Structure 1
Amino acid sequence: MLLTISTTTRPATDLGFLLHKHPGRVQEFGQSFGVARVFYPEATEERCTAALMVEVDPIRLVRSRGTSSPDFSLGQYVNDRPYAASSMLAVALADVFRTARTGHCKARPELAAGPIELEVTVPALPCRGGPELARQLFEPLGWQVEAHALPLDEGFPEWGDSRYVRLVLRGPVRLADALNHLYVMFPVLDDAKHYWMASDEVDKLIRAGEGWLASHPERGRITRRYLGRRRSLTNTAFARLAELGDDVEEDLEPPIEEDAAAETATPETADTPTPQTGDAVDAVEPEPGPQARTPLNLLRREAVVEVLTEARARTVIDLGCGSGQLVGELLRNPEFARVAGVDVSARALAVAARRLKLDRMPDARRARLHLFQGALTYTDERFAGYDAAVLMEVVEHVDPPRLAALERVVFGTARPGLVVVTTPNSEYNVRYEFLTGMRHPDHRFEWTRAEFAAWAEGVCGEYGYRVTYRPVGEVDPEVGPPTQMGVFVRG
């Protein structure tokens, strides 16, 4: 199976720095199912192409299967896995380009942080849903998609098309994002995985989908297919995406027993297609189950807006505005005469501008809005002059040694009359089934209620504020609410 990634962003050979693979060498990486090789068919200043070729050893694959796996005779040895992109290619990509997927590149940090012109080609990709599904999944991510069904046999056109497509993606996309798109989408399009899915698959999906999955219009289909339609895993993923995402409906399914076949699946049975049922299931997304709840990220915004309205704040600055969800909510309310959004990430601000339709915003609303880039740990006069400031799910992204700087900038220098802070309640994490570690891969810490109160009281004593606490989300009698809120009032 083969994947090529090309760029024409000059100097194109910098692709080697971003992938952390030298264009002048062929490199091999052993996999449990074969070997992956990275090489460069072309490497010039004008255009550079990196190829990932995975050679599958069917004997090794068969020998590594569980002893309880059923015997599919020749099907174990004769199948499409050596030739068509699948979860095996996704696993190899994740291993070979592990550092590139994080977006870190000391040699070219600015290049790694922004979009570059990319062309990704997959000659043969199983696609249960056809070319149209490939377009539905990749186009919302900023790709121009060429997907063409491959014939069953070119010598017999009357036999029709196969379930495989040739896929070409083009567009200005950040390389790390492109690699994570592919890592998630290969098994989603194939609708199968070659390995047993453990509980850490949810964490893998959340990490790889950071910044795009929660707002993807096909997030339900992507999540279900990636997690093999296992209800316990998909319900957990939907709950976490709802907390992170953009008005995501949790779409939770009833907590009934898993399908017996799914519970006893093996690497081979998980990789075996279910005849036509996959596409039938995905044709129409099911309605939310009876236990679906209001997404936590929506509850947070509602709680913050309620506090701001009660305080009759007229001017508000959202510190760490991200993709602009709260900013958009505030702009819809004419009672807020001036709304500002600031974020350290230029990429996040670009997403916010698109979300808010800044280029088409009516003049009267546009006059109330100010979006700008800034770091919350450095004094900035633009932060001052607002009735209220909001730190919604921000403090936990700050390294603990830098928290004192943030406190000084917000509470000591900007000094708004009202500061609203929300942050996860780590005690509630036990209610997220299969959660390992923290709720978000970028969280530096997560506080218990006592730890949050200790921090808040320290801020009040240092800078002359009073604080009250409010729960956000349903309060669990044992571990409290999923999100905790502190309302700081000056004086």
Structure 2
Amino acid sequence: MKRRQRKPKKENQMLLTLTNTQPPATDLGFLLYKHPQNVRQYPLSFGIAHVFYPEADEARCTVCLLVDVDPIDLVRGKATAIGGGLLGQYVNDRPYAASSFLSVALGRVFATALSGRCADHPELVSRPLPLVAHLPVVAARADEGFVTALFEPLGYHIEMQRLPLDAHFPDWGHSPYVALTLSGTVTVKTLLSHLYVLLPVLDNAKHYWVGQDELEKLLRHGADWLAGHPEKARIARRYLRHKWSLAREALARLEVVEDEVPESVTETAATTETAATDSEMASITVEEAAVEAPLSLNETRIRTVLAELAAAGVQTVVDLGCGDGKLLSRLLKEKYLTRLVGLDVSVRALEIAADRLQLERLPPRVRERIQLLHGGLTYRDARIEGFDAATAIEVIEHLDENRLAAFERVLFQCARPGVVIVTTPNVEYNVNYPFLPTGQLRHPDHRFEWTRAEFESWGQRVAAIFGYAVRFEPVGTVDPTVGPPTQMAVFTRDVEQGGEA
């Protein structure tokens, strides 16, 4: 009797293909430390990883990482279930969909490429290549736009198809899985680091214990890109399995971000090494801080805004787009301010701000001075009206330009504070950042960045329409050719004109 050949269980395999089309395309093999003519296997605690090349020539080279997961090995000898409950130990999607298992396999199989090393051709490490990563099944347990929100700011072209629960029963609807293709001109190290971090983030789960070492992995693999990502808070929270203390620490250590682009590469290192927490800063005088550490652009900006508010003699301030509360935490220390409100559209940012401000532990007389509100900047909100001053610090560049008119009416016509302080990046200064590619804005979420002339034209127009006087001030070191890194407009209401009704 002829014995039937046992077929491999393809449904128990996770798959990733990575394709390079830059001749000689087989350079991909050097970067990955995997020869295109060989088939390699790597034992894992939950199965076996296979690496092979379905195609490899001068014009096109594709490497395939196939992870064969044994679902019984996942739970054998383990006291806790992966999916929760006894049934969840054996009925789950872990052998089928790209998740933290594939992330672990990436770290094991492509460790050298992830570390950015290539002994034979070191010049290839920093060379961007036209790469395409394809994942046939990815666990994406989040809102519909989350995949785009994760990968689009990183510069990828995204092709995504939501997979049905059952192709034979379309009425059952969609599953929490997508077929995902990412295309972009990036280094191999960069692409692998994005996948290593973001696959578990999409899945919103991990199959192993998460502790301090995972935080260090997140910071190590996200060192070149996470600080400036608009979803950094959500990424940190989901990567660290919603362990708030770890997520807060990760965010605190990523604080040289977006609006803190250093004035020089040297300053970046100095600022990182000497950065102090808010509580530490409270015990250091301005003069001492200036001597002991170079000021980051963000610190310079905050001090400039504080000085303007003090000179204006205001008592109540609303911070529009308050984010994670950096400015509010400093305003709260100014005893002459009797009422503070922070408004932001992001609930998560407000949660971080509440933690930064330690709202639950403030003395009652201090706590009653400050309030955090959830709301948008382009809709009239009576809660932000009646304040002496309003600040919009590095905010307007995050608004679509076609929504600026609504923002102007909400702020200058409806809320109508006596003083308005607006800061925004000076795009001309970007040439001083050697690590910022020509034409690229300082942050992926910026909808625009203005020249000095464009900002002044906007400010003068708004002041004329709504009955304000305006002056413009530099923030940060002024380059004699391209000006300061940040530009600031200080609007003061013209009580004689009254402005537009």
Distance 2:450 2:204 in 1: 40
Deviation (angstroms), 1:352: 8.4
Distance 2:187 2:165 in 1: 35
CA separation of 1:332 and 1:34: change in aligned 2, threshold 3 A: closer
Pair 1:153-2:240 in alignment: no
Deviation (angstroms), 1:72: 3.5
Aligned residue for 1:319? none
Pair 1:341-2:432 in alignment: yes
SS in 1 for 2:356: coil
- Are the equivalent residues in 1 in contact too, given 2:258–2:442 (CA < 8 A)? no
Any idea what the Cα deviations from partners look like across 1:159-195, whole Å, max 9, x if unmatched? 1111100000011111101001001111110000000
Question: What does residue range 73-472 of structure 1 map to in structure 2 within 5 Å?
Answer: 73-129=86-142, 131-243=144-256, 246-247=259-260, 250=324, 284-285=347-348, 287-288=350-351, 289-292=353-356, 341=432, 343=434, 348-350=435-437, 354-355=441-442, 362=451
Give, as a single letter, the amino acid of the residue that structure 2 aligns with 1:355: R
SS in 2 for 1:58: coil
SS in 1 for 2:72: helix
CA separation of 1:70 and 1:45: change in aligned 2, threshold 3 A: closer
Distance 1:332 1:140 in 2: 19
CA separation of 1:251 and 1:35: change in aligned 2, threshold 3 A: farther
Task: Say what the alpha-carbon RMSD is for the aligned residues.
Answer: 3.7
Deviation (angstroms), 1:55: 0.9
SS in 2 for 1:350: coil
Aligned residue for 1:311? none
SS in 1 for 2:255: helix
Any idea what the Cα deviations from partners look like across 1:271-326, whole Å, max 9, x if unmatched? xxxxxxxxxxx9953514434269xxxxxxxxxxxxxxxxxxxxxxxxxxxxxxxx
Pair 1:31-2:122 in alignment: no
Deviation (angstroms), 1:59: 2.2
Deviation (angstroms), 1:106: 2.7
SS in 2 for 1:215: coil
CA separation of 1:67 and 1:177: change in aligned 2, threshold 3 A: closer
CA separation of 1:11 and 1:137: change in aligned 2, threshold 3 A: same
Any idea what the Cα deviations from partners look like across 1:17-72, whole Å, max 9, x if unmatched? 11111111111111111111111111111111111111111222212424799983
Distance 1:167 1:10 in 2: 25
Taking structure 2 as the reference length, what is the TM-score of the superposition? Answer: 0.54
Deviation (angstroms), 1:349: 3.6
- Are the equivalent residues in 2 in contact too, given 1:239–1:250 (CA < 8 A)? no
CA separation of 1:10 and 1:353: change in aligned 2, threshold 3 A: same
5+ long unaligned stretches in structure 1: 253-281, 295-327, 366-387, 391-491
Give, as a single letter, the amino acid of the residue that structure 1 aligns with 2:28: L
SS in 2 for 1:172: strand
Give, as a single letter, the amino acid of the residue that structure 2 aligns with 1:121: H
Distance 1:83 1:332 in 2: 46
Farther off after superposition, 284-293 or 20-29: 284-293
CA separation of 1:389 and 1:211: change in aligned 2, threshold 3 A: same
SS in 2 for 1:61: coil
Distance 2:162 2:441 in 1: 33
Give, as a single letter, the amino acid of the residue that structure 2 aligns with 1:287: L
Match of 2:85 among 59, 72, 93: 72
Distance 1:145 1:123 in 2: 13
Match of 1:15 among 20, 25, 28: 28
Q: How many residues align?
A: 300
Aligned residue for 1:48? 61
SS in 1 for 2:30: helix
Aligned residue for 1:447? none
Deviation (angstroms), 1:88: 0.6
Distance 1:360 1:192 in 2: 37
Distance 1:184 1:118 in 2: 18
Give, as a single letter, the amino acid of the residue that structure 1 aligns with 2:165: L
Any idea what the Cα deviations from partners look like across 1:422-471, whole Å, max 9, x if unmatched? xxxxxxxxxxxxxxxxxxxxxxxxxxxxxxxxxxxxxxxxxxxxxxxxxx
CA separation of 1:32 and 1:10: change in aligned 2, threshold 3 A: same
SS in 1 for 2:133: strand
Deviation (angstroms), 1:87: 0.3
Distance 2:95 2:81 in 1: 24
CA separation of 1:361 and 1:148: change in aligned 2, threshold 3 A: same
Distance 2:356 2:155 in 1: 30
SS in 1 for 2:64: strand
CA separation of 1:69 and 1:117: change in aligned 2, threshold 3 A: closer
CA separation of 1:76 and 1:332: change in aligned 2, threshold 3 A: closer
CA separation of 1:67 and 1:184: change in aligned 2, threshold 3 A: closer
Give, as a single letter, the amino acid of the residue that structure 1 aligns with 2:63: A
- Are the equivalent residues in 1 in contact too, given 2:82–2:89 (CA < 8 A)? no
Find runs of 4+ consecutive structure 1 residues off by over 6 angstroms: 67-71
CA separation of 1:362 and 1:17: change in aligned 2, threshold 3 A: same
Deviation (angstroms), 1:355: 2.2
Distance 1:132 1:146 in 2: 13
Any idea what the Cα deviations from partners look like across 1:326-373, whole Å, max 9, x if unmatched? xx999699xxxx998365xxxx1417853299x9864979xxxxxxxx
Percent of matched pairs sharing the same residue:
47
CA separation of 1:172 and 1:230: change in aligned 2, threshold 3 A: same
Distance 2:169 2:72 in 1: 32
- Are the equivalent residues in 2 in contact too, given 1:17–1:107 (CA < 8 A)? yes
CA separation of 1:212 and 1:81: change in aligned 2, threshold 3 A: same
Distance 2:240 2:26 in 1: 36
Give, as a single letter, the amino acid of the residue that structure 1 aligns with 2:25: A
- Are the equivalent residues in 1 in contact too, given 2:107–2:114 (CA < 8 A)? yes
SS in 1 for 2:178: strand
